[in-house]
Structure 1
Amino acid sequence: MAKSLIIVESPTKARTITKYLGRGYSVMASVGHVKDLPTSKLGVDLDNDFEPQYVTIKGKSKVLADIKKKAQEVDTVFLAPDPDREGEAIAWHIAQELHGKGKKKDGKVYRVLFNEITESAIKRALKSPGEIDMKLVQAQQARRVLDRIVGYQGSQLLWKKVRRGLSMGRVQSVAVRLICDREKEREAFRAEEYWSIVALLAGDNPPAFEAKLHSMNGQDADIGTGERAQQILDAVQGKSFVVQSIERKEKKRNPVAPFITSRLQQEAARKLHFSPKKTMTLAQQLYEGIEIGAEGPTGLITYMRTDSPRISQEATEDARVVIRERFGVEYLPATPNVYKTQKAAQEAHEAIRPTSAARDPESIRQYLEQDQYNLYKLIWNRFIASQMVPAIMDVTRVDSSPMGTPDRYVFRTTGTVVKFAGHTAVYLEGTDKELPSHKPKNEQETDDESDRQLPALREGESLHLVAQEAQTLPGLVSKQHFTQPPPRYNEALLIRELEEKGIGRPSTYASIISTIQDRKYVEKVEGRFLPTETGRTVNDFLLKGFPDLLDTEFTSHMEEQLDEVEEGTKPWVSAVRDFYTPFVREMELAQGIPGPKDIVEPPTNLPCEKCGRMLEIKWGRNGKFLACPAYKDDPPCKNTQNFEKLPDGTIKIVPKLEETTDEKCEKCSSPMVVKSGRFGKFLACSAYPECKTTKAIALGVKCPQPGCGGDLVQKRTKKGRNFYSCSRYPQCEYALWDRPINKPCPKCQAPFLVEKVSKQAGRSVQCRNEDECGYREAG
């Protein structure tokens, strides 16, 4: 019989740990939290120091009963939920059940922490067990109480003032505000025109190279109109150039720290297009254990909720061994790299790293699902690269000027050559640059210059303009540009903003982003977040009623107080009271502010096309709409219409898109019509609701798979990104990201071209066999 019981959260983790321990141990899973605040009431005694009223979660009574029964049969109980605030709270709730009246009377109950699920880590933790950290429990309890107060009382107010079913959250509402504020910035943005001028120059040695106009008479080149650009072209055209200066520098690109939670979520979003929720789910699987052949369940990474880049000495030495053996001593720094910890970071955990540096991604690829492999590879590469030497780059900057012009024009080109790859041989950090909301001055506008090859040049060398295809003048090109509004947030940018402003904590980012989408406050379009009408309405109301609650500095200060509770420098009740006092004042203020439900819209002067009564403005899940007031009559009139308000205040009905086509329904032969849904336009049977046949709209391009005969249609991923695939899926799985154009390639006779769009090159149409054919035409 087992003498010790280990209680973890996950059945997967339980199986992995069982593999490492002998018969003297029994491992059980609580399957997450076992107790929480009740769902049907506030569950917090506001008059008695915010005392929480915990109850057993529905469906967990049997789990608790089994744990208590097993605990009576063993000498020692080890509580081993995840090593964070949530895990500490779970351990505390289980301990309360075991220590209560009539419960476990003999033996000991200990707390153990597993930062990684490996045999050595587990046995080491069991040899030095500790006690439950009540500071962590109280920090979690304070957060839970705060979120319940805001969620329960604030949501009731939204039901009363806006619409039933809405929710308010202490942190989620601030995240929605960020997205709404960014959209307002975009709407207020006014684009400015500017121009750039690029010269193609050649000297004594090949190749020719491009140089961009950098300055005029010592001032930054600021060309606001096409007329001014043409004046410069006229002045420079036909002139000889001379190399004014050459500056060569050697630059180092230092490696970046191993992952903390927020950085992992950002990089997985950029490089793998994973949502934060998906990233954390996959990381949890890698942490708890994957079946690795004869090894059985094996924990592959350390705990994935951390804000510290700290690495243990043992793990550092493992990484250095791998680097020395696989890359060579020239890639190994003389001493291990150490990374600075953020001010508010907790040092209890290491960074996210492989449990064994020697277990490279390729060696276990056959045992992992594709997404698991991709994430593990990202973590392994980043960890190994963090202990490598910097990359060394040779950067050359050349300034050239045309001779014989009344004004002094300086054209600049920069080339960067990788002299030594260093850590970039393993990992190159992703970027998510924001589009400029101003003119990008003093820099090459494009174009990644890391691959630009410059010829051998010398100061004073003569250069001449070189003609190339599609130039308006030999050797010179002028381009019109417009400044761009600030970009909408994607997952990576939003997480970065939340982190920089101190809103929430890394472990909460995934749930924040999931919640605001699940509540329909924001939606993703082409991978970017847009506020819905519901989100805008709720945000506008909350800004009026809760100016402090939605203030980012106030929210950040609250997070700092929760950290103080965890550190033991502030009582949890004081932290809650510091928040609750201003919250009560704002609740009283918000009660007196009219919401959409308080504003009675008079009937419009637009008659219902079915019964003649005047349509009224109503609020629904997707925003405002026009509805017939006879919807409650017998028989009811359920006519609804979309509408928009014109600048003069009048209301205009927006017809529901229903374009007829020549195509017939495959089931009932009725005409198919074009409709618009959440994923764009589609074909639907005109006999709806009797016939509910739908299908995607063909693009006029046949599937290129031999013998298929299907049509290519536009579809959308769950993340909102458009792609194009065969209409005969799943029989045919052909798919591509670029939009197909129904035009054969004039060079290689491929059946269709594709449209590519990039920030640098704009829109272009080219052959889909880009590497073999290379045909391209301007977009």
Structure 2
Amino acid sequence: MKNLVIVESPAKAKTIEKYLGKDFTVMSSVGHIRQIAKKNKDGGRPIETNNKYKITFEVDPSKKKVVSELRKAVKEANDVWLATDEDREGEAIAWHLCEVLKLDPKTTKRIVFHEITKNAIEEAIKNPRKIDMKMVEAQQTRQTLDWLVGFDLSPVVWRKVPGGKSAGRVQSPAVRLLVEREREIEKFGAKSSFKITGEFFVPSSGEILKAELNKKFESEKAATDFLESLKNANFKVANISKTPGTRNPSAPFTTSTLQQEANARLGFSAKSTMAAAQKLYQSGKITYMRTDSVNLSGFAIKSSEEFIKKTFGEKYHKARNFATKSAAAQEAHEAIRPTVIANEKVSTSQDLQKIYTLIRNRTLASQMTPAQIEKTTIKIEISGQENYFEAKGEVVVFDGFLKVYSNGKKDEFLPELTSGDSLNFNEIIAKEVFSRPPARYSEGSLVKKLEDLGIGRPSTYATILDTIQARGYAMKGEGEGDPRDVIQ
């Protein structure tokens, strides 16, 4: 065997072997091959806090067969290439492979790529590097913290919390956020008021104009008295203002924003989103799905430009480079994007295709012109009163990026009117409305909150959300609560 390439997943191994040809054999470690041992060699804790946090590792019992096969292959190979994922976990797996397979980390070839395409793989082979020990140490630091927090806190949870199963460095703050929000909701005292809305008949066109009074009333009596005062009132258009505006596209997806948007638009859990993205990456359809960067490569920007101009026309194209706000972001990575932007359909699986379409459309939108909006406000004065009704409308004058990434919002057209036009009221009603408590977290909004607070990493959010639900610390509901009776 001339060359042995070791990757993390069997699915990825098949795709890469296809690109590299007969001189390369590609095998998989099937994820991590070692774990923190139960005890160190002296029978103490495997992480020695009094000995520079030395960690004792052991081969995962379920990976002994995999390790045996890899050892045999290494002996038969002239060159070994470690092609685990490009993040901290991948770097750590590469180091563990060196340790277990007796490879020298200072000389063993380490290759990385952002996408599984023929060009990317061939370019990686041309530019091998060594294992980045700083990244390995960063991963071990996180692993150590996770272990220490879980090891020391979980027994407390078992003793003090009925039904409590575990605690964790990210898991516990996530549960705390849910608890704090629930307490806010319980303490919230809803206040009621009365909103006045009217439907006005436009004599010149026969259209109906819907508007809302600029003031709410605190009591049913005050609202009823106001309605009585309108019986003989006259209504006319006092002012019409039109304001142009623009709506800009968002940056391409990071791991976190993909989870948030898939939850909001598709109703996907973080776990389902990441499972679909992983399959798309392993089959060479999208770039690496664990990233906190919003950068696009020059190739991606250029290919998007060509596709947009050809498909929609030059007026729809606007090249952009986005800057990542997070100080901890790894800028060398790319945002999540399709490997071939022109590919519209890539899977027969509905879930995979939905996630791919979301990623593709977001990428295209990021390189398209802003949408041009026109906002219209019509002020309707009431004879003999200071209060007034207001009607608001918004229309898209030029769709721009909304051509591919619409928010589903429909145009709100208003009838053609001029200042001074008289209106007849068709119906004016008062309806009791209640102030709303803070909303419960959705999976998407909890991911965003954790990211805003700097808790955890994008790659861990799906696992954490799944864990807190599986262990019964939280449950997913269908809605915010039950409707209440209102006065109208």
Once residues 82 and 106 of structure 1 are traced to their aligned partners in structure 2, the CA distance between those partners, rounded to angstroms, is 16
Q: Tell me the SS of whatever aligns to 1:522.
A: coil
Is it true that 1:63 corresponds to 2:66 in the alignment? yes
**Corresponding residue of 1:208:** 208
1:423 and 2:401 matched: yes
1:485 aligns with 2:470: no
1:399 to 352, 366, 379: 379
Partner-residue secondary structure (3-state), 2:108: strand
Alignment partner of 1:50 is 2:53? yes
Aligned match of 1:74 in 42, 61, 77?
77
Using the TM superposition, give the Cα deviation of residue 451 of structure 1 relative to its aligned residue in structure 2, in angstroms.
Answer: 2.4
After superposition, the C-alpha distances for 1:580-605 in whole angstroms (9 at most, x for unaligned) are: xxxxxxxxxxxxxxxxxxxxxxxxxx
Specify the code of the residue in structure 1 equivalent to 2:325: Q
Q: TM-score, normalised by structure 1?
A: 0.59
What is aligned with 1:120?
A: 119
Q: Counterpart of 2:405 in structure 1: which amino acid?
A: Y
Which residue number corresponds to residue 498 of structure 1? 450
Q: Which runs of 4+ in 1 moved over 4 A?
A: 39-42, 104-108
CA RMSD between the two structures = 2.2
Distance 1:235 1:164 in 2: 61
Aligned match for 1:89, one of 89, 92, 96:
92
Could you say what secondary structure the match of 1:199 adopts?
strand
Q: CA deviation at 1:348?
A: 2.0
Residues 202 and 106 of structure 1: is their aligned pair in 2 closer, same or farther, counting only changes over 3 Å?
closer
User: In structure 1, what is the Cα distance between the partners aligned to 2:229 and 2:163?
Assistant: 68
In structure 2, do the counterparts of structure 1 residues 11 and 48 end up closer, same or farther at CA, with 3 Å as the change threshold?
same
* Closer/same/farther in 2, CA of residues 107 and 247 from structure 1, 3 Å limit: closer
Displacement of 1:105? 8.0
Structure with greater helix share of residues: 2
Asked whether the 8 Å contact 1:3–1:24 carries over to 2, the reply is yes
- What amino acid is aligned across from residue 451 of structure 1 in structure 2? D
- The CA distance in 1 between the partners of 2:16 and 2:374, in whole Å, is 50
Query: Deviations 1:174-217 (Å, cap 9, x if unpaired)?
Result: 00011011111111111111111112123453222011101xxx
SS for the counterpart of 2:388 is: strand
Structure index of larger Rg: 1
What letter is aligned with 2:294?
P
**Structure 1 counterpart SS, 2:61:** coil
Contact 1:42-1:152 at 8 Å conserved across structures: no
What letter matches 2:149 in structure 1? V
Is 2:335 aligned against 1:351?
yes
Distance 2:271 2:446 in 1: 14
Unmatched 5+ residue regions in structure 1?
A: 215-220, 290-298, 431-447, 467-474, 531-756, 764-778
1:337 to 317, 320, 324: 320
Cα deviation 1:146-201 (Å, max 9, x = unaligned): 11011111112223334576211111110001101111111111111111111212
Matched position secondary structure for 2:18: helix
Is the 8 Å Cα contact of residues 106 and 130 (structure 2) preserved in structure 1? no
Residues 75, 108 of structure 1: 8 Å contact kept: no
CA–CA separation in structure 1 for the residues paired with 2:433 and 2:75:
75
- Counterparts of 2:70 and 2:341, CA distance in 1: 36
C-alpha spacing 1:456/1:107, structure 2 compared with 1 (3 Å): closer
Q: 5+ residue gaps in structure 2?
A: none
Tell me how far 1:107 sits from its aligned partner.
11
Residue of 464, 468, 485 corresponding to 2:424? 464
Percent of matched pairs sharing the same residue:
43
Of residues 375, 391, 404 in structure 1, which corresponds to 2:355? 375
Local SS of the residue matching 1:427:
coil
Q: Distance in 2 between matches of 1:16 and 1:401?
A: 69
- The superposition leaves residues 709-744 of structure 1 with CA deviations (integer Å, 9 ceiling, x where unpaired) of xxxxxxxxxxxxxxxxxxxxxxxxxxxxxxxxxxxx
CA distance in 2, matches of 1:262, 1:117: 21
What does 1:739-750 correspond to in 2, within 5 Å?
none
In 2, Cα distance between the equivalents of 1:452 and 1:149?
Answer: 56
Structure 2 contact 196–216 (Cα < 8 Å) conserved: no
In the TM superposition, what is the alpha-carbon distance from 1:4 to its structure 2 partner?
1.2
**Is 1:264 aligned with 2:258?**
yes
Structure-1 residue corresponding to 2:387: 409
CA distance 1:488–1:39, shift in 2 (3 Å): farther
Q: Matches of residues 643-662 of structure 1 in structure 2 within 5 Å? A: none
C-alpha distance 107-211 of structure 1, shift in aligned 2 (>3 A) = closer
Q: Mark the CA change 1:477 to 1:372 in structure 2 (over 3 Å): closer, same or farther.
A: same
Equivalent residue, structure 1, for 2:411: 451
Matches within 5 A, 1:86-235: 86-99=89-102, 108-162=107-161, 166-206=165-205, 207-214=207-214, 221-235=215-229
Distance 1:227 1:488, change over 3 A: same
Find the counterpart in structure 1 of residue 460 from structure 2.
508
Q: Is the 8 A contact 1:244 1:399 kept in 2?
A: yes
Amino acid across the alignment from 2:220: G
Moved more, 69-78 or 489-498: 69-78
Distance 1:42 1:370, change over 3 A: farther
Q: Could you say what secondary structure the match of 1:524 adopts?
A: coil
Distance 1:6 1:208 in 2: 70
- 199-208 or 501-510: bigger deviation: 199-208
1:243 Cα deviation (Å)? 1.6
**Alpha-carbon distance in 2 for matches of 1:512, 1:258:** 24
CA contact (8 A) 1:92 1:137 kept: yes
How far did residue 27 of structure 1 move?
A: 0.3
Q: Deviations over 1:83-110 (max 9, x none)?
A: 11110110010012233xxxx5899511
Partners of 2:294 and 2:396 lie apart in 1 by 27
C-alpha distance in structure 2 between counterparts of 1:164 and 1:523, whole Å: 15
1:360 aligned to 2:344? Answer: yes
The residue number in structure 2 matching 1:323 is 308
Contact 1:286 1:372 in 2 (8 A): yes
- State the Cα distance separating 1:39 from its structure 2 match: 4.5
Counterpart AA for 1:401: E
What pairs up with 1:484-563 in 2 under 5 angstroms? 484-526=436-478
SS of the residue corresponding to residue 120 of structure 1 reads helix
Question: In structure 1, how many angstroms separate the alpha carbons of the residues matched to 2:264 and 2:474?
Answer: 20
Equivalenced residue count is 480
The 3-state SS of whatever aligns with 1:371 is: helix
The residue type equivalent to 2:365 in the other structure is A
